[in-house]
Amino acid sequence: MNLRGGCVCGATSYEVKDHPLFTQACHCKNCKISTGSSFVIHTMIFEEDFMLNGKVSSTELPTGSGKGYRAYFCNNCGVYLYCKYAVATGRLAIRTTTLDNPITPQAHIFIKDKDPWIEISNKEICHDTMYDRDKVWPRDSLKRLKEKTK
C-alpha cells in the first residue's frame, strides 16, 4: 500500500509509490527550530517515487553536518512537508508527522543536542551525531540505494 500524507489545511497532499529506505529522528538544534518541536522524524524515499498534489514553496536551510538542505512547505498553510538534502541526490526526506500513518524511527541522531527530559528506551538506536550508514541501514535499503545511484 502506498504511503499518503499532506498538510493541515488540505491544499497539499502526496503519495509515495515504494516503501521507505530508512526513518530517523534528528534532535539537532536546527531541526528543533524549523519544526518548533523537540525533534524531527524523517523518512527517506526515492524522489521518483514521490507524487505531489498542490503547490509548495521552498527555502535553503542549514543542517547539523553543515551541508544544508532545501525544505518544502505547503504554499497555503506553511506546514513543513519534506526536504532534499544537498548530499542525498535523487532522494527526499518526508516529515513523517505529515503521513496519515506515521512511522517509528529506526535511529535517533544528534542525541548530544537532545532535550534532557526526553528518555529514549532503546539506547542501541541512539547516535551522538550522525551514524555510519553502512552499519545502521537494513541490508535491503543499502542494496536499493546502491542500485539506484550507480
Nearer to Zn ion by Cβ, of 41 and 74: the residue is: 74
For residue 91 the three cell numbers come to 532522494
- 26: contact with Zn ion by CB under 5 A: yes
Rounded distance, CA 12 to CA 17, Å? Answer: 17
Size of the site for Zn ion (CB under 5 A): 10
| Angle at 96 (CA atoms; ends 77, 118), nearest 5 degrees | 105
Q: Which of 11, 120, 126, 142 binds Zn ion (CB under 5 A)?
A: 11
CA neighbours within 13 Å on the CB side: how many for 107? 21
Minimum separation from the CB atom of position 147 to Zn ion (A): 27
Minimum separation from the CB atom of position 97 to Zn ion (A): 14
Rounded distance, CA 148 to CA 2, Å? Answer: 20
- 136: contact with Zn ion by CB under 5 A: no
Rounded distance, CA 55 to CA 60, Å? Answer: 17
Subset of residues 56 to 115 that bind Zn ion, contact rule: CB under 5 A = 64, 74, 76-77
Contacting residues toward Zn ion, per CB under 5 A:
7, 9, 11, 26, 28, 31, 64, 74, 76-77
